[in-house]
A and B are shown apart, each in its own frame.
Chain A
C-alpha cells in the first residue's frame, strides 16, 4: 500500500544506454514531479506534470523525457546516459490544493 512507488530502486548501466524509471502514486493526486539529488545532496526539480500536462520543465538535457500516460503515473526516460547522470532520482506527488509533497523511495542510478 505504498503511496508513491518507484521502480527500479537501483539501476546500474553503461554509458550510452537508454533507461526508464517508473513512478506511480495511488493517492489520487493530480500533480507529479521528478527530482534529481546529486552527489552534493542538492535536491533539484526537473519536471512537473499536472493532470498529464507538463507545467514545470527546468533546464535539463533533452536526453531526459518525462511521460505521463495518466494522472497516477509519471515515468522518466533517459537517452544516451552519461556519467554525470549518476544520482538519486525521486518522484513526488501532491494535490493541487495542498502544498505538501509525498515522495517515493528514490531510484539510485549509477552510470559506468
Chain B
C-alpha cells in the first residue's frame, strides 16, 4: 500500500522555465515532508523539506508548497537549469524515524 505517490514518472522543461513536481499522500499522520534528488548511480541527496505546520518553504531556486487539506505537496524549481535534470523523490515522515518514499519523477531540463 503506497502512502506516498508521485503520479508523473517524467517531466520535461525548457531551461529557464519553471519545473513543478507533484506528490500526494494518504496518511494524515505524516508530520514532515522532504524532497530528495537523485543522479544515476548515486544515492538520493536531501534537497528541501517542510513541516506539516507550514504551507511553504523556500531555499534559493527551490520552493516546496504543502496543502494539508488536499494531502498534496509540490516542488517548484525556478529557473530550471540543465544540472537540475535528475530523479526527484518525495518522502513523508511519521513518528520521527519511519520514512515513506514516492516512486520518483524524472526531470529533464532541455537547454
Contacts and interface: CB of A to CB of B under 8 A. Distances in A.
Contacts, number: 52
B103 A40 contact: yes
Contact of A100 (B41, B42, B49): B49
B103 A55 contact: no
Chain B binding surface, main DSSP class? strand
Contacts of A56: 97-98
Nearest to B33: A99
Find the residue from B36, B93, B97 having the highest chain A CB count within 10 A: B97
A102 interface: yes
Interface string A29-41: 0010101000011
B97 A101 contact: no
Size bin of chain B's contact surface = 20 to 34
Contacts of A48: 97-98
Interface of A: 4, 31, 33, 35, 40-45, 48, 50, 55-56, 90, 92, 99-106
Pairs of residues from A and B, 4 with the lowest C-beta to C-beta distance, nearest first: A103-B43, A43-B101, A100-B46, A103-B44
